[in-house]
A = this chain, B = another copy of it.
Amino acid sequence: MDRLDSSLIALRRILRATELFGRELKQAAGITAVQFRVLQIIAETGQVTAKEIAQRMRVSQATVTSLVDKLVRDGMAVREKSALDRRQTNILVTDKGRQTLSEAPDPLQQRFVRKFSELDDWEQAMMVANLERVAAMLDAEDIDAAPVLHTGDIKRATDA
């Protein structure tokens, strides 16, 4: 089954690339891919609750606490008690966080964007169709996937 191997190898290369770029991101921007993803989620709407981050990233609240701790420590985000429901904590992105987001764009995504743009129209269409098909084959259809790459940057909208 030669083509099967080829496709699996290609998939692994794709995974590998995302992993390596996660490391690059960390070195270049001083922020890990996971923290970057948290920052993105915060910045989307300007503020979110810890629970929402946990749900979207599919990690526990305990994990979110520690991730936000690091962002706060590094001045990327701040916590603020919600006035409406004081159990909740709103997490806000700071100027520095916003700056980090804009200055440390995902190199993997950038590379992909650039090369994708260079494709012919029909090639783009075909590639989209194929990637979606592969995703479906991996049974990942119920995933709430925002258009950002990162191994750690993965979430699901509605849970089982």
Interface residues of A (CB under 8 A from B): 1, 3-20, 108-109, 111-113, 115-117, 124-128, 130-135, 137-141, 143, 145-151, 153-156
Q: Given A17-B139, A130-B126, A139-B17, decide whether A154 and B12 contact each other with a Cβ distance below 8 A.
A: yes
Q: Is the interface of A mostly helix, strand, loop or mixed?
A: helix
Q: Is the CB of A138 within 8 A of B112?
A: yes
Contact of A9 among B14, B138, B146 (CB under 8 A): B146
Report A113 CB to chain B, min CB distance, Å.
Answer: 6
A150 CA to B9 CA, complexed, in Å: 11
**A4-B117, A12-B143, A12-B147 given; 4 more Cβ-contact pairs under 8 Å:** A12-B150, A14-B138, A17-B139, A112-B138
Q: Is the CB of A112 within 8 A of B11?
A: yes
Measured CB to CB, the nearest residue on chain B to A155 is B16
Q: Is the CB of A154 within 8 A of B4?
A: no
Which residues of chain B are near A143, meaning CB under 8 Å?
12-13, 16-17
Q: Is the CB of A147 within 8 A of B4?
A: yes
Measured CB to CB, the nearest residue on chain B to A107 is B139
Which residues of chain B are near A8, meaning CB under 8 Å?
109, 112-113, 147-149
Which residues of chain B are near A108, meaning CB under 8 Å?
138
